[in-house]
Structure 1
């Protein structure tokens, strides 16, 4: 936390920007435009706000430094935590600022098939498009999840001193829509 004129400046006050989807319209080749759009989406996808909930192992990470979740929790058979330590035990429908505990509706870790940590942006892109690895979602459903899901939206309003995802969920959703419209091409793995 830094001070400005005696007032605390929280991390969410200094979020990074995203280029708007329209900035990519001058790229004539649709595949090249699509890859450029996904690279811009990568600023969000590769941020700690997304990576922490898409762990490569059974244990989510937390914080801007993506340290292992404390207390020790694991994914569980339904991605809601182990039987004696469900995600909703601590994470409610909204942030609980006095204790610094984040929260959003239906808080849970992404299914193991949607793990992103330790993957390149190209690998993540291919995974997002693959119904066998994305929860049987169509590209429209992927767009709806990324553009409108309140749990995803938490990434732009994480509270405390957590750095929010770049841009806004609306801007991110517009990038996702433009990426799909341009052919949903992926960067090289």
Structure 2
């Protein structure tokens, strides 16, 4: 005799199997949708990448600052009486090709970001002078910034070929003397700032 509590059909098992199959289909659809969604670099999805890009820029600045030749100090002192040497115009903008061939920082930035990101390189002196060494446009609000400070001393030579035998204190270049004759060693402190997007 059959128990009154036992079903003679397999309806419960069929419902359970149907539920598992439905859940698998929904899960597969969600996974497929997540894998196929493209996130453009300018969207909020890029925020997770920003700290890594900022660290890469900071590392590039440190490597450029400690290089033997064409380092950040060399770049900041690359001037003559008329302004920065080899710049395209009076606004001191270098094209990417010249910047890459003249300075270590340019070479590193072009190798890392040349095809994938735009970047600007700016100089900000302690005497409130600002110069754009590379200007690739106006950065958006989500741009990443990193900087490195370079100290220039009175007895360092300018690095531009036109007056390389002169010290920075003897050439009236674009960056002025912060000490204004009061300190015999310090010339200026310049922040090299890189903005990438």
Q: TM-score by structure 2 length? A: 0.27
Task: Tell which structure's C-alpha radius of gyration is larger.
Answer: 2
More strand by share: 2
